[in-house]
Structure 1
Amino acid sequence: MTFQIPWQSFLGGMLLGLSAVILMLFIGKTAGISGIINGVIKREKQELGWKIAFLVGMVLSVFILSPLGVMLPTISEPNIGIVLIAGLLVGFGTRLGNGCTSGHGIVGMGRFSKRSIYATCVFMMSAIIVVFIRRLLGDL
């Protein structure tokens, strides 16, 4: 078994970090995606503009980067139900954890927030356990 560097993941992580730094430097806000989406859904008027711009930029970045060979993963028909359930569980987890991996893992840990460090450790351990269980059970 050989190790290959996951370049798309590496570059994606760098873009996430860069966007978080730019957002913090220019308007002093954190790039927690669940909080941004929540603010748009609740229509927080004083912050609606930058939040919509941030989300539009995330979506447009796929089309901007796709000529460079960056592609989204494909979802096959049988997996749509699993993806929907996973999305609901992630949404529940972000509400329970008072933030998501981008808010806690990128911004919070960069600011040495104890709460974010604990939350990110829980996120990562949960992911490791899920992968371990999935490998034991095989593909569903």
Structure 2
Amino acid sequence: MMRERSPYIIAFFVMHALGCGGSHDGPRRYELSGSVTYEGMSVSIGEIHFEPDASKGSMGPGTVAQIREGKYVTPRGKGTVGGPYIARLFVYDGRPKDESHAPLGNLVAGPFNVTLDVPDRDATHDFELPPN
């Protein structure tokens, strides 16, 4: 009985290793990470909205990264695709009045609009935000 199942088990592991059954729609996305400072201090809590810069012909998908303790990383599998992007950064105070309305707290500064060329590979980019 075990010998009858062996080919199926082997086939399952081979197909799983080759990626059969799973699909990634759209272009390959890469991880973007780094640090964020505002007025020389690490941003405790915030968000970065990465939007393709259509004025420069970029039509890839956008993504949002959370800033925590001065660091951010795009969500796994939902990063950037490379090319011209506009990063819109928001700095919050981390004191929410109502979790459903403003879970990150009150807006302290932003949006800061930063243009950047993102490489088509995993990369880092640090943001130093000026006084508002």
TM-score between the two structures when normalised by the length of structure 1: 0.22
Structure number having the greater strand percentage:
2
Structure number having the greater helix percentage:
1
TM-score between the two structures when normalised by the length of structure 2: 0.22
Q: Which has the larger radius of gyration?
A: 2
